[in-house]
Amino acid sequence: MTHILAEEAINCAITLAAQHELIKREDRQAWAECFWQVNYESFNEVWKQDLFVPEFKFLPCFAAPERILQICEEIAQNSAESPGWHDSDEVKLLRQIYVTAKKQHQTAQQLAKETAAANAKRWQALGLDWIKTNQSRCGDFAIIAQLMQDVSDSQTDYFGSTCLQTRFLAWSKHGRKLFAEMRKVAETWPETAHLGRGRGVFKVMVLPDPSESYRYAQEWAQPKGPNRFDTLAAAQAEAERFAAEDAQNQQKLATGEIKSFAPNFPFGYEIRGSEAAIEHRENYSMGKGYYLAQESYSGWQIRKCGLRTNLTQIAEALGRQIEAESDRLDVESQTQFQALN
């Protein structure tokens, strides 16, 4: 739907054009005014308006290549109804800006892939060397944590995830998939502490009117975050807090302090969930095995894998941790040295 563009969008596109000498630096203001004018002409044409075109002041504005690509598409969509747009100098420049941003984006993606491959190779070598020289300290199995990103697409009925990061947590001498062992190890790292002992997934549900013929509990989502708690006590405390607020509002209504009030939860609460909710047992065809996680497709997941079958993955995660720990110790040593001197 055609709308008036944000000045920032035009500024970003013109800034990139000048950076890559698609236009002269001294012409930035003139080109920005042209795009601004065309956008208003298109808007007036679509909505049968006669809006006055306000003054436009160009200000340098920088954005990532992927954002520039979005801006180019937005400018094109909201300028298309301007008379003569498709054969104008503005659309020719916009195409050049798009091509330039596309090349930048592809170059950045390629560089990111090469950097990731180089890092993985370095971490694997570092991890393999540590395993080789510390065989007596290694077990046959390792407990690792993986940060997963949901890449599901409901429109195509595809459900899946991709691993963004793997962290080595601990060695294990046996291959039994014991959740008690994985929970204990999860507590050793702050990012996975929510998967530790005594933790699970609990949700606060609002109960419907008991007079309804079909009773069910509707999930309540917090305005400032997901309705999900690690412990039963935390979920109960939240439910009690809102119940107290409902009681106070009902009292204010009775005394006339407020004229009208519709309680969010007039019929009480119910806590649903359990500690076992984070224990996933998918030991079947196409399943993901045994793992700890609050969500199946996103967030941190903890699992055990064998050194014989997952040597590369374990070595990379171990090497990454060794390198990070080495960098931390170097910083601490330098800080202590500076303090002493």
pLDDT in tens, 264-311: 556 778 888 999 999 999 988 888 899 999 999 999 999 999 999 999
Q: Which residue type does 35 have?
A: F
143 in the same domain as 259:
yes
**Ramachandran region of residue 274, left (φ > 0), alpha (ψ -120 to 50) or beta?**
beta
285 in the same domain as 182:
yes
286 in the same domain as 186:
yes
196 in the same domain as 283:
yes
CB-based contacts of 69, cutoff 8 Å, min separation 6: 98, 101, 102, 105
Helices (H) and strands (E) in the chain, counts: 7, 8
Q: Which residue type does 322 have?
A: I
Beta-bridge mates of residue 274? 201
> Is residue 319 assigned to a domain?
no
147 in the same domain as 37:
no
Alpha-carbon distance 127 to 314, whole Å? 8
> DSSP letter at 18?
H
Task: Using pLDDT thresholds of 50, 70 and 90, give the confidence band for residue 331.
Answer: low
pLDDT tens-digit map of 84-133: 999 999 999 999 999 999 999 999 999 999 999 999 999 999 999 999 99
> Is residue 187 assigned to a domain?
yes
**pLDDT number for residue 234:** 92
> Is residue 124 assigned to a domain?
no
Alpha-carbon separation of residue 335 from 33, 92, 250, 319, 328 (angstroms) = 53, 55, 58, 24, 11
Q: Among residues 148, 139, 127, 124, which one has the least CA distance to residue 181?
A: 139
> Is residue 316 assigned to a domain?
no
Task: Using pLDDT thresholds of 50, 70 and 90, give the confidence band for residue 337.
Answer: very low
- Provide the domain limits for residue 18: 7-107
Beta-bridge mates of residue 273? 202
CB-based contacts of 243, cutoff 8 Å, min separation 6: 265, 268, 269
145 in the same domain as 89:
no
Give Cα 291 distance to the centre of its chain.
Answer: 21
Q: Among residues 305, 298, 320, which one has the least CA distance to residue 182?
A: 305
> Is residue 115 assigned to a domain?
no
Give the per-residue SS3 of 64-100: CHHHHHHHHHHHHHCCCCCCCHHHCHHHHHHHHHHHH
> DSSP letter at 88?
S
Q: How many domains does the chain have?
A: 2
Q: Among residues 24, 171, 169, which one has the least CA distance to residue 93?
A: 24
98 in the same domain as 170:
no
Q: Where are the alpha helices (DSSP H) in 152-209?
A: 179-186
Alpha-carbon distance 131 to 315, whole Å? 8
254 in the same domain as 207:
yes
Q: Among residues 97, 75, 109, 90, which one has the least CA distance to residue 20?
A: 97
Q: Among residues 169, 131, 171, which one has the least CA distance to residue 147?
A: 169
> Is residue 129 assigned to a domain?
no
Beta-bridge mates of residue 166? 146
242 in the same domain as 171:
yes
301 in the same domain as 231:
yes
Query: Looking at residues 73-83, what average pLDDT do you find?
Result: 96
Alpha-carbon distance 83 to 277, whole Å? 60
**pLDDT number for residue 215:** 54
Query: Looking at residues 132-155, what average pLDDT do you find?
Result: 90
**pLDDT number for residue 149:** 94
> Is residue 289 assigned to a domain?
yes
CB 243 within 8 A of CB 257: no
> Is residue 325 assigned to a domain?
no
290 in the same domain as 146:
yes
Give the up-direction half-sphere exposure of residue 215: CA atoms within 13 A in the CB hemisphere: 8
CA 254-258-261 angle, 5° bins: 80
Pairing of strands 141-150, 161-172: antiparallel
Sheet containing 141-150: order of strands: 161-172, 141-150, 299-306, 289-293, 279-282
Task: Using pLDDT thresholds of 50, 70 and 90, give the confidence band for residue 340.
Answer: very low
341 pLDDT more than 60 = no
65 in the same domain as 180:
no
Taking the alpha carbons of 296, 301, 304, 308 in that order, is the dihedral positive or negative? positive
User: pTM for this one?
Assistant: 0.72
